Structure 1
Amino acid sequence: MGDLPHEEFGNKTPLEVAETPKMDFLAKTGKTGLMYTIGKGIAPESDVAVISILGYDPFKYSTGRGIIEAVGADMKVKDGDLALRCNFATLGPGRQLIDRRAGRNLTTEEASQLSKSINRLVTLESYPVEFEFKNTIGHRGVLVIRSKREPLSGNITNTDPAYLKVEGLGVAKEKVEMVLEKCQPLDETIEAKISAKLVNEFTEKSHEVLEADNVNRRRTAEGKPKANVILSRDAGHLLPKFFNISEKYDVRFVSLTDMPVERGISKLAGMDMAVLPPPSADLKNDCTIRVNKLLELLPNYDCFYIHIKGPDEPGHDGEFERKAKLLSIIDKYFFEKLLDEIKLENHIICVTADHSTPCKLKAHSDDPVPLLISGNKIKGDKVSKFSEKECRKGSLGVLEHGYELMPKLMDLLKKQ
């Protein structure tokens, strides 16, 4: 949702250009501010940002996105297993990457067939292990490597050139060199060295299998980029020890999420989870499904975590107008229906984002995200619009860390 001003659009952000009367209403009648989800100077990945927003200090609780995605994808994973978030990508001559997401048009059927080929034809021989590769949504996947001997280590680098590990957290690079990277150990332990070697072996052998697969022959014939290499990142080997969020705050918490990373976080945090279809190209329908599910479950739960991914992709693709349009759709098809069906004075609504994805950068940035809290007995800041610029004027000020937010929300809930 968050972005930066663009000169060609009157120095406005997509959120300022978008038609968002319902979110604007919530901002005018509520308190607003800005929030660094991880901290200043850190462009976070979604997993650590969501962990933080839900009240967990990511430097204390995060053990790697790979483990969380494996849990969210319903894969068997335990301490000592090596789990990595993966992308199907397009590799050109040498180690030159052409597209980190294989054109964003890989179908579930194609990804499933490619995954089956990998699992059937690739054998890892550098250490006694078994592995499982699972496609999840679109170009995304998860790799789990299970050792038959000593535990493996997630303290290794990414092969995906867009992200770094900083103090154990996944962080987006400001500039990306489109080259397939070699996995390297980040310490001198034998476990890290073996794990890095296994990832490199998997990358090379799966590339050979993918290159020869009929799926990629068809994609080439259709003028589509091949999905001929697996990029991996955010390795982990320990399950995170989250406190149970419902027990900690004595509430009934449910998540309405559809991506493996958010589902994994929800499961590990002890939330109930609503069953939702994966996100589609029809954001109007996606929003309608989600708001209807929320209204259906409203009598049964106290707190809802709802994650709508729509505006992130046009940020990555540099599509300002499309991002603004999707924000308008969310306002109309999610928030309008929600506010029509509930009495705001009986509820508290918080709207924010896990990170900024400026269209200029086509990547996550370290900019703070807009934040609003509205409803119940909250006195409004009377800002003119829900936007980055207006939220800066709000009474919430600038939160230095996302994990400051949840205690504030729980305090407001208790005062109802």
Structure 2
Amino acid sequence: MKRISTLILLAFTFCAGSQDIGYQFKDLSSVYYKGAMDSLKKAWTCPSIYPDKTTQKEFCVQWASRTSFLQEGISENNFVHHPEIVSYVNAIVTQLHENNKDLFPRKPFLLLDRSTVANAYAIGENVIVVNIGLLTNVKYRDELALILAHEMSHNYLAHSMQSMKKKAEWLTSEEYKDFIKDLSRDKYNRYNKLVNAFKEYKFSSSKHNRFGESNADSMAVNMLGKAGFAFDAAWFLRLDSVGMEYKTPLKKPIPEYFQTYNVALQSQWLNKKAIGLSSRVGDADFNSNIEDSLKTHPDCKDRYEALKSKTRNPQLAIPIDEKIRILADKNIIWNLYRTNNFTSALYRLFLLQDEGLKDDWTDFMMSNLLISFYAEDVMLNRSNVIRIKPKAWIGKDYFSLQTLLEQVPSASIVDWKDKGNL
């Protein structure tokens, strides 16, 4: 009976929650883009470019992998056609396209990814994707235009095609075949050789990609000028700090956010213990950086230095529409909740309240999270919805929140079910 009640609750919350954040079931990608996916299967046929049959076969494997990525993303609802958000972003794409038709005879096909990551990416074949997480991080419409122009440039410069060709050529090269033969004869050092070969390939590939990124940057800045957008090279300097929401301190002690909903907490539940999931990641430093020596983009300072002379009318940059940013924030919280990532959903909800936004929807989401956490605890699924994160990825307040959700006794969570019925 409890399981059935939970399923009824989830069905109700999907209908109510999705409408409040601006889209309906028909806007999910598996429904909205069904016709486009059928066309994609016909249009994205692997071209014949290599006389060597082995290389051509491997190239088609890479091509099929890219096609499958998009098809599966559509069928699994990784994308959504949010009417207001897509319209807002598409207007920027239209402005870029109409003023750069010499480069882009056809308007790019835009997809909105439901990912929380502050990013955008080019798939190739005139398709660009914007993560909804990007819209909560950019400050200006012109800054978003820069990112969109950058991805359009990747498609124009055929970087996706180059990447597939490079991989196909490497996997069918004599050097790679010799490496595999040597590996099969080595009984004791296979793992290290594989790791080193992977690092060498990734480094070579990433170094090549960084040149491509620089070219895309330069082309994007020129596109902005032709389309009448402002440009500030200093926007590149912010890229290292985007996506840091979970390191952002809360404005109030965590118990106060719960007290608003008549949920009382004990201070000891916020403190790390010697046992438990959170203790396993407790030795890392909150100030640790996540090292990535193989990142594909050039250093942000280098990008700034390369293009600072191209800065143009930054004072005329138009701020991102606040309604769009809040819609994006709400969509992210909703998606985190729907994918059972309760700690992140709660934390982002608290950050939204810190900005002064507390309305019927935020109350509705807090209610969902309290009731659902109780239901998951009853089903012995608490750890799977807490999703413990390493300290290097989070700040002290986030760590305290995930520790709280881990340490709070089940007897106290029973009360959350009633408090959730706001």
**Taking structure 2 as the reference length, what is the TM-score of the superposition?**
0.27
- Over alpha carbons, which structure has the higher Rg? 2
Higher share in helix? 2
**Taking structure 1 as the reference length, what is the TM-score of the superposition?**
0.27
Higher share in strand? 1
